[in-house]
A and B are shown apart, each in its own frame.
Chain A
Amino acid sequence: MFFDQQKSVMAFLQHFALLLALIIVFSTSCKAVTLEVGSVEVGYNDSSKSSATEDTSTSINGSTDGHAPSVISTLPIVTWKWHHIETPYLVALWILTCWLCKLVCELNHNVTSVIPESGLLIILGFILGGIIWGADKAQTFKLIPTNFFYYLLPQIILDASYCMPNKLFFSNLGAILIHAIIGTCWNAATVGTALWACYEGGAMGTLNIGPLQFLLFGALISAVDPVAVIAVFEEVHVNEVLYILVFGESLLNDGVTVVLYNVFDAFVSLGGLKINAAEIVKGIVSFFVVAFGGSFLGVVFAILISMLTRVTKNVQVIEAGFIVVLGYLSYLTAEMLSLSAILSITFCGVCCQKYINANMDEKSVTTLRYTLKVMANGSETMIFVFLGVSAIDKNIWVWNTGFILLTIFFVVVFRFIGVFFLNWVLNQSRLIPIDITDQFVMAYGGLRGAVAYGLAALLDEKKIPEKNLMLGTTLIVVYFTVILQGITMKPLVQWLKVKRAAHSDLKLIEKLNNRAFDHILAAVEDICGRIGDNWWTRGWNRFEENYISWLLMKPKARKNRDYLFSIFHKLNLEDAINYVSEGERQGSLAFSRSDEAANVDFKKQFGSEFADVMPNIMVDMSNYELGIEHFSVTSIVKDTIPSVSLDIHGQDRKNAMDDINAHHLLQQHLYRSRKHHRHKYSRSHFSINQNEDEVQEIFQRTMRSRLESFKSTKMGVNPAKKITKHHKKELTHKMPNGHPDGTGHLYGDEVDIAVGSETGAINSTFMRDTYTVGAGIENPVFLPDMDSPTHSPPWLMETEAVAPSQRAQRRLPWTPNRLRRLAPMRISTCSTDSFLMADVSLTLEEHEEHSQTDHVEMRPVFD
């Protein structure tokens, strides 16, 4: 088996390599054609936003050369128009190539578990670069700083900041900032001066570099790259505090480095002689203005985005796009104002995430998440590949052993010193001090990456004659850190026994207790009468609740944004999905059809989203059901087949008479959809072929027929509305004791939403509301009223043995053992019924057996 697999993989690899080589040769030969015309340096850029400069260069090319000769002798049928599409074509081709490289890297997990993906990509980049070199005899493709900073970096940073674990980030913000700001400055200054000192000492021979240039180089080389770091750390799974420290630091550090780089660059331009105390003070001021100004701008954009998402619900299709575009704009705006663009987009992402997630539709959030991931991963791949490709260029290789080795040495050593010192300072006041091993990994994780390279490539050759030496050295440092440190990181983490991230499932009880702990700590701080960490957290929370969420969140989102509840919601969703997929695998589709499975979750949404409109209907329906309950089984079966039930299971067990009866009823009551002209595709909606009128009509018909059957069975004793109230009262005092005592409780939950809100007649305006809101749910109206009369309650139909005793309610649904987390909730007491329905053939003994096996299966999870 394994061998076969191996062989097929190998075969595939061979084909693949061939394909890859073909693509490269093709693209380079195409390129060669261009080169003859005029040496245009074509970099590559993101397909979506093609760079203006390159556009012009292509258009120039196109106008001079791309057109067919003006004098033609005969009408050409087809013409070769390479120059029309050259740039976008190459860009697309390169994107494809890079992504295929990623595919190759991920083919074999044995390799990626040893060499991190980023390293592999660089190595593949070497190979690609070699091929190009072989074809062109020059490096025609390389990473151009403009493209890198404007088209590749922003989405990576936006993705990283948008997915940042917010609470963790802000609770460690102090440490992160200290590392990012002071640590970076320390690295820049020490590496720069140490190199300069060594140069003065004669370790590098003669170079045309002044002390300021050394400092500039020190600044650019101290950029710890988030991309490389995250790529490595994600594979290693270190504990979350260490992760956030390294991640946050590397993210903010980039911004700081760029700022520092600009300051030193300005100093270099100014020249050593003109620098006096005033200029230095200006430089320091500029550093802070640029860094904090950028962050502030990001926050402003975050507010803008959040406010915008309050009103975008009518254009849901492009909702997610707004965030991407505005995030990008925050980057560009900061760049325009010469503030720190990276910091701007970082804070934009971090700050807006909470509000946009609450404001936007769940689907849009998913879309945004995936869009960002695709973009970020895509450009990350390209960056690494191009870091490799760029190496194969003899122009940039100016070798100076002393300079290169000393740089690597100082970069590593000063990183260690800086991290250990700062952590020592931080540990003086940290509640949980950072371990020595964690510190070591933190220091070792200072991988340099594309930002350093981009900054080095940005250097101006006129001002810095030794630019190529610096560029080459930067590349070597990047390779050294990404490949060597990347490879050794994992064994190191294992060897040092660094605390790994606990791989734990989402647990409601943990979240609940975390909340309780927060309150407890806050209270104890109050009792002690001192201001501690929790005081700030609480103050912020209160401020946010009172003002910020009012400004930035939709009223609806505000209403059900409670964190615990959303966790609960998430768990439920997960369960529902497992539930269905597991059932389908088992070959029993019963519960995917019987609606309780969906209902569990549906009602949750119901309760929160439609609480204001739904109660009326809920009360009506559930009371109606309650009313039915008192009747004999047969009457339920015969008379109350609801008009819109497709559930055949309910009818399975009936005799032929009933069958005919049912057929008749079904035919009479089933809504036959009108033949509308409907499109199979809609530009802006996924849920097409749903007609508002239709839903309303079905609903009204259902209600009408229900009312009729209700009256006829009850002999018209009461109009529906009064019964409603009567039952409601009954329920209110039934509910609070909350003990599952018999059947009454089973329905209690359904009505619970309704309790406490006004009962009223069914109004059709409500219908419209529900429909628009719940567009994703198939006919939301019907879920509640399909439950019980349809599948005439099993405990009534079956033998008395299957009465919904406490055991039945508590026992896990009949599911395979894999589905451990699935458990009935109070609300889903009816969902147990659905299971009874699903495997109604099981006898009681079997039930018990299952509940026992399930019980046993549960243990390992909790133990």
Chain B
Amino acid sequence: MGSTSSTLLKIPNVEVLMQETGFSPAHIIRLHDRFKALDKEGRGHLCPQDFGAIKELAMNPIGDRIIGAFFSPGKETVDFHTFVKILAHFRPVDKDRPKEPNSPEPINSRSNKLKFAFQLYDQDKDGKISRDELLKVLRSMLGMQVTEEQLESIADRTIQEADLDRDEAISFEEFRKSLEKVNIDHKMSIRFLR
């Protein structure tokens, strides 16, 4: 336990972080270790290259989008706080924890999870998934298996399904509605972050 608290002490504002993310000290320490491992040069922050060094991630078809999600616009680095906060999206929803009435919405709420997914599509941050944006994602995910034309028709159909206001783009509200039946808590949670 001694080492635990000493590691925790090294992290600034750890209390706030734990409260915001809901992570246990053990998780924070684990993530901190990982953070340090990724931060090879010990600068205390990560840059896109550090993520790129993860071999498996490079093979992920939408890996760079996910890396991009760690960096707020205009920023080239991510510090430990942001790193943990982003990962907190994937913490499973805990039902047992009593909900304080006026506490802010937890990071791992359904709509926050969805927002995370949404911004992976919405690269130009205009609040809408346009056809082109969708096509790009589709192209990287489906890869070589279908022709460009098929991709386009899939993209069109997808937009049609979600598009309620007929503007040929999917807004977040439409995105949320179209995925109403999907168990997001299940699909966007990682077991070991519980």
**Interface residues in chain A, defined as those with a beta carbon under 8 Å from any beta carbon in chain B:** 429-432, 502, 504, 507-510, 512-517, 519-530, 532-534, 559-562, 564-565, 568, 571, 604, 607-608, 611, 735, 738, 749, 752-753, 755-756, 810, 823, 825-828, 855, 858-859, 862-863
Contacts and interface: CB of A to CB of B under 8 A. Distances in A.
A752 B147 contact: yes
Given A508-B158, A519-B141, A523-B60, A607 B149 contact: yes
Interface residues of B, number: 64
A514 B191 CA distance: 17
Given A516-B137, A526-B60, A502 B181 contact: yes
B60 A562 contact: no
A825 B153 contact: yes
B152 to A, nearest CB: 5
Interface string B176-194: 0111011101111111111
Task: Determine which residue in B147, B148, B192 has the highest number of CB atoms from chain A within 10 A of its CB, and name it.
Answer: B147
5 contacts: A508-B158, A512-B138, A514-B182, A516-B137, A825-B153
B87 interface: yes
Contacts of A568: 150, 153-154, 157
Contact of B190 (A508, A525, A559): A525
A755 B57 CA distance: 32
Contacts of A755: 148
B47 to A, nearest CB: 14
A532 B190 contact: yes
Contacts of A502: 181
A502 B185 CA distance: 16
B152 A826 contact: yes
A509 B149 contact: no
A522 B157 CA distance: 26
Contacts of B166: 810, 855
Given A431-B190, A519-B61, A749-B149, 19 more contacts: A431-B186, A508-B157, A509-B158, A509-B178, A513-B187, A517-B187, A519-B62, A519-B141, A520-B62, A520-B117, A524-B90, A526-B56, A527-B38, A528-B31, A562-B146, A607-B147, A826-B156, A827-B149, A827-B152
A571 B158 CA distance: 11
Nearest to B34: A529
B142 interface: yes
Given A608-B146, A738-B135, A524 B66 contact: yes
Chain A contact residues, majority secondary structure:
helix
A753 B157 contact: no
B120 to A, nearest CB: 7
A533 B156 contact: no
B33 to A, nearest CB: 9
Interface string B97-131: 00000000000000000001100110000000001
A510 B181 contact: yes
B51 interface: yes
Contacts of A753: 147, 149
B37 interface: yes
B63 to A, nearest CB: 6
A604 B98 CA distance: 52
Given A502-B181, A862-B177, A527 B191 contact: no
B150 A607 contact: yes
Task: Determine which residue in A429, A527, A752 has the highest number of CB atoms from chain B within 10 A of its CB, and name it.
Answer: A527
B162 interface: yes
B117 A859 contact: no
Nearest to A513: B179
B16 interface: no
Contacts of B79: none
A523 B63 CA distance: 6
B82 interface: no
Contacts of A823: 157, 160
A526 B31 contact: no
B190 A516 contact: no
B8 interface: no
A197 B9 CA distance: 60
B152 A738 contact: yes
Contact of A523 (B34, B62, B153): B62
Contacts of B158: 508-509, 512
A563 to B, nearest CB: 9
B60 A519 contact: yes
A752 B148 contact: yes
Nearest to B185: A432
Contacts of B154: 508, 512, 564-565, 568
Contacts of A749: 149, 152-153
B187 A514 contact: yes
Return the 7 tightest CB-CB contacts between A and B, nearest first: A752-B149, A826-B156, A562-B145, A523-B66, A517-B187, A526-B56, A827-B153
Contacts of A565: 142, 145-146, 150, 154
A560 B145 CA distance: 6
Contacts of A429: 191
Nearest to B27: A528
B29 interface: no
B176 to A, nearest CB: 11
A608 B191 contact: no
Contact of B191 (A431, A826, A863): A431
B92 interface: yes
Contacts of B1: none
A514 B146 CA distance: 18
Contacts of B60: 519, 522-523, 526
B179 A509 contact: yes
A197 B30 CA distance: 52
Contacts of B62: 516, 519-520, 523
Nearest to A525: B190
Nearest to B148: A752
Task: Determine which residue in A429, A825, A826 has the highest number of CB atoms from chain B within 10 A of its CB, and name it.
Answer: A826
Contacts of B156: 825-826
B15 interface: no
B76 interface: no
A853 B66 CA distance: 41
A524 B190 contact: yes
Contact of A862 (B34, B54, B164, B185): B164
A855 B166 CA distance: 9
B20 interface: no
Contacts of B168: 810
B148 A528 contact: no
A358 to B, nearest CB: 12
